[in-house]
Structure 1
Amino acid sequence: MPELIILVALILVHILSDFYFQPSEWVTDRNLKHYKSSALYKHIAVHGVLSFAVFSLLGSNGWLLNLVYSGVIVGSHFVIDLAKSYAKKTTKNFVLDQLAHILVLLLLWAWSSDKLAEYGALYPLLTYKHLTLVVAYLIILKPTSILIAMILAPWTKELKRIEAALPKEHAKHSNSSLESAGMMIGYLERLLILTFIVLNQFSAIGFLLATKSVFRFGDLTNTQGKKLTEYVMLGTLTSFTITIFVGVATSAIVSSLPIGK
């Protein structure tokens, strides 16, 4: 589809303008001065000029329409970035910001290439198999974390008694690692495991388990002792077991899809 080159080019322009052509000084100035920041206007001007170039060089519309499309990108980018300047600097807000920009580009591309009605017609093709994949990925995140915490509850109490016997600063550092880094590691490993299963790459799961075991076992043996090592390994194996079960069930349901074969 020739029109796709415009979409790819618009996304390329967005990445270049947001991450390579935007100095850190501009970001700092925008976050401090918000709509009064000259850097904000310079930034959206870069987006506007490059977007206009994409539509003019790769599109078949007149310069007036290209100017309108570029104006939509400039206006939406201004609103989104201005809102981001007031928001907290978190991973969630960063992801939402980028998703909002990409969504605008997708809709604008579909509109400019007269594909909006065509892609809207894809909605009836959505089946329970696609929703099964979404449900599976949602299950292995927070619900699975809660289930693992419930399963490990008896050993968690013993772990807390061990931490209470440690020096105050050491115990505080240990607790922080378990609550933040441990949770993120669990999320990422389960996302990878489910993806490997859906793609029928079971050997990659063994490599992931071996890699994590080497790093976590070696680190914990040196700092926390055997009980904490066993606690972490128990949590890891519980996480793997639940995710593999969900993955196999999901793969069986969506087996008629190419990614399930």
Structure 2
Amino acid sequence: MSLMPIDPAMAQSFAALLLAHVLADFTFQTNAMVQHKRKPLVFMLHIGTVFVLSTLLLGGIWQVALVVSLAHLLIDGIKTWIIPAHLRNTLAAFLIDQAAHMITLVLAAAWWPGAITQGFWANIAPIALPPVILVAGFITTVTAGGYVVGMLTARYQTAADTSEAGLPDAGRLIGQLERSMIFLLVWIGEPTGVGFLIAAKSVLRLDTAKQGRSASEYVIIGTMASFAWALGTTYMARALLEIAVATP
């Protein structure tokens, strides 16, 4: 029994909304905004960014952007003011929050599937679509992946015996670089190169294993999580592109 085919127009509208979402959440939302999000002005600035970006990327179809922004307000409002502080910054809360946003974007795209083809991007939408999905996938893989890995490994950080201090923010940058390379390798159809990346990192991390079991396990958890997230999100981005460019 075959699955019901997905309307390419719906996938196109979803791709535009997805890029608006990841830009608003992971590019234009600074760490200072996250820390002060309980302040009404900061909170509404974020929601306003979602609305502006969604409207722009849909080509001026503000009705869909308004629905998405109101849903974003509700979801973020629950996370910001209702969820207890000790649960708010956990990986589970992050994943549930992002899943709720994705469901909202899917429903909005299903409600008005041809939105992007009716706006001022209609004539160039087929040309612009691959770069839109490419950028959205890259941000999700590299930037959002950093939050996921960081939250997953946070509880192990104090237990890991890493007596020798490294360069400031070097771990974060290494993670971004490795996820960027994985994204590139998978996107261009050379996933076997990921194996060489794993081997290279294993060699470079030999000294960490000498610091003790806790330190080596901490590195392994972070590395495997980073690789798994990068592979999963990159393949999903490629799948979305194939659906969006399919002919009806």
What's the TM-score once normalised by structure 2's chain length? 0.45
Higher RCO by CA contacts (8 Å cutoff, separation 6 or greater): 2
Between structure 1 and structure 2, the one with the greater Rg is: 1
Give the number of the structure whose residues are more often helix, by fraction: 1
What's the TM-score once normalised by structure 1's chain length? 0.43
